[in-house]
Structure 1
Amino acid sequence: MTAALVLRAVDGPVHVEDVALNPVGPSQVRVRLAAAGVCHSDLSLANGTLRQPFPVVLGHEGAGVVVETGPDVSDVSVGDHVVLNWSPPCRSCWFCESGEPYLCSHADDARGVPYARAADGSELYAGLGTGAFATETVVGAHACIPVPADVPLDEAALLGCAVLTGVGAVLNAARVVPGQSVAVIGLGGVGLAALQGARIAGASTVIAVDASPAKEELALSLGATHFLSPGRSLAKEVRALTSGRGADHAIECVGRATTIRAAWSVTRRGGRATVLGLGSTTDEVTFNALEVAYFARTLQGCMYGSTDPAVDVPVLLSHYRSGALNLSALVTDHISLAEVGDAFTRMRDGVGARTLVHF
């Protein structure tokens, strides 16, 4: 049996239960988790913002050790250390063949297939196809990214979502170049990773924006040159720090209409605002007909940092080894599986950055 965090209904309570994982299929592997990050996407699954069959085992940002492989698996072996990929590309759909594996048509297939059973016999689904809030999980072999054994698995877990998304957005989607200015709005795990991505890209001015003054010291240590609080004067303050123009890039990491609109407003004419936050379908952003053409800004969405984890995880590890990427600094709370509900409360309140579950 496997201990797992089970959610049985939207906005319901989460409980640690003993579950029985399905047998490993021909192209699947069983992974013993070492650690898993608590991501805002887990909260979005729990509150119904993201669609997911129930009952579900939450968690998708995890790392662990392969303990069993199916007969058709050749890319990973028992004993390998791996990071889970919650959006594994199929490599054969139109998006994958067009160089956009982060938009793969089949990346979500696993989340709709039961992967375990509860003690009462009910079928369980894996959150985002991974079910990382559990001592063990079963995933497709293509959902595992091998990492060197000398990389601590608790730090490697963060690569699976927050760091790929935040750093990837800066380097791959926004394509920040040396000397440019970047404003990062929202300093959770993804936003703090984006700050580091801006520093790695060589941005000269990196403006961190968050409602919590308690995050200023951490933001400055991870690459921010300035820290601002959101508000009506935010665009004016950003312009004052960027020679009156506005930021070359804004990276939105919250997923609300107000912060998306703020990201647009702090960006200079001809600049680019990149939205990472996953918001509600009922939360609408508005623009007037004049400003779209007049400001000539680009507003773009970004899934999974526009990354291919098989390619980008090794790149991130090179930055980690060089000291340019600080993974441990992203974690502000270390908890057990039973404390994930409390982590969700802190997340709703905007307290802290990444919370890490240790098994």
Structure 2
Amino acid sequence: MGHLIVVGAGQAGASCVARLRAKGFDGDITLIGEEPVPPYQRPPLSKAYLLGDMDRERLYLRPREFYADQNIVLRLGKPVTKIDPQAQTVQVGEEVLQYDELVLTTGSRPRRLPAAIGGDLDGVMVVRAIADVDAMAPWFIEGARLLIVGGGYIGLEAAAVAAKLGLRVTLVEMADRILQRVASPETSDFFRDLHTAHGVYIREGVGLSRLIGTGRKVSGAVLSDGSTLDVDFVIVGVGITPDTRLAESAGLILENGIRTDDHSRTSDPHIWAAGDCASFPWKGTQLRLESVGNAIDQAECVADNILGANKRYEAKPWFWSDQFDIKLQIAGLNTGYDRIVTRKSDDGAQSHWYFAGDTLLAIDAMNDPRAYMVGKRLIEAGKSPSAEAVADPGSDLKALLKA
């Protein structure tokens, strides 16, 4: 079956090569990763790994032996620098490798603060790779003053870990509220109250003007309202961008990431893409999902289609976040909602159901796995329960599936 090369040794890349072997692909497979470690889970980096509750080996998606046993060549610690679609080659260092099919699972890159406002000072960090978390771990000292820039999930997860470890945490979010881009005001309120109760100082509607350095080390921050903070270090959590650099230089069409068709093929017939870097057709637009579930599902769809399945990629969006003792589980996409229905339980569990008219779009479930599973199944089946039944804490959730 020739030589298949996967560029990007993250969740999507690992899922693709494992699926290919499981489905009987008997050609050569090479998985190339820029980092010097085998494919690993990223979500625990800002949670269990940063907290010290998970060691490095447990992060790995599979033991190193798996790749050798499956005759998958792992090339780690050196990036691909060029793709030549006409010659069907990739360049790694001075070496040129020929491919028959190429899969891009290059993931995403964290947005960083500009050097002009102090983003290059020592002690200014991001959370994306193992090396990032290893570098920041020594800074997590009880009593240290931490500034987190950005009130999305990465920033809030890092804030929760820091607060647990006894740091003095200030989080600034330039939007009117935390999670504004991804969640309802009700979900924002829930997590603001949670963090405030654990001592995190959250400032919304306030941006960062610049960081102040003592020598080359960050020591303070000036905010957009003119106030100043003394800080020991800074974590920047202002989002990620799809890593499309190789795709762009190879002349592939880009649209909200690397554009793929409904079979996850790019504009080149021998190049596929999956995961954070790739967009796919969704209700008349090109959607890109930043989630583990999407990385796995889309990568497995690519593997199946390389083997001739001719399968459309049907996304089933789901996400999660762990903060303090709360597990947030999200199903669906809330774009276009006009109403939130809240369901509360006596044990403190809570869920927010997003409706557009009478149509259920998504659910945020806080410590409520039953609501999450029911909501997810309803959304995937295209069924919408009545808002009154959802809001009634006495109603049987499972009965909603039969309605």
Judge same fold: TM > 0.5, yes or no.
Answer: no
- Asked which structure has the greater RCO (Cα within 8 Å, sep 6+), the reply is 1
Query: Which structure has the larger Rg?
Result: 2
Task: Name the TM-score, length of structure 2 as normaliser.
Answer: 0.28
Task: Name the TM-score, length of structure 1 as normaliser.
Answer: 0.31
Give the structure with the higher percent helix: 1
